[in-house]
Amino acid sequence: MDDELTPEQKFAAEEPSTMIPRALREGRDAEDIVAELVRLDWTPSAARALIARYSADQQRYNESPESRARLVSEAEVQMVIGLILALMGVAISVFTFIAAIAGAVPFFVVATGLILGGLMMASHGRTRLEMCRTADPTEALVETNAGEKP
């Protein structure tokens, strides 16, 4: 039997940013997750690196409330810095475009690297923040009901 996925199946596959944390919470072996990512055209080394990053984040999330707060704070900072970088790229592009229209320079610059890099960084920060908020919904329930008597 052919284990190769069609392009439609790859497109419909769950995002790694949601699949990996869920699979780790369920206790799946890292090599099973790597095999699934390889089927989606990831290289084994890139898949292992991503799994290690999510695993470290989940470990920090479960360590203590202080560690969890630091992780959330880091994710928020990462998201904000990414947005600032993207806005800087847009500002540079607009400024050079206006300068070119005014005749001050014969060209204009579109800072695509800065814009796309900033958006990717912001997206990764948002994904980490969402993972922190949904890492274990039952844990939040246990914490809320801890003071109540049955």
Q: What whole-number distance in Å separates Cα of residue 84 and Cα of residue 79?
A: 9
Contact between residue 85 and residue 121 where contact means Cβ atoms under 8 Å apart: yes
pLDDT recorded at residue 2: 54
pLDDT tens string 25-83: 888 899 999 988 888 888 999 999 989 988 888 888 888 889 888 999 999 999 999 99
Q: Which of 38, 42, 70 is nearest to 56 (CA)?
A: 70
How far is Cα of residue 133 from the mean position of the Cα atoms in its chain?
A: 13
Contact 35, 65 (CB under 8 A): no
pTM of the complete model: 0.70
- 35 and 5 Cβ atoms separated by less than 8 Å: no
pLDDT of 89-127, one tens digit each?
A: 999 999 999 999 999 999 999 999 999 999 999 998 998
Amino acid (1-letter code) at residue 14:
E
Rounded-to-integer distance, Cα 44 and Cα 61, Å: 25
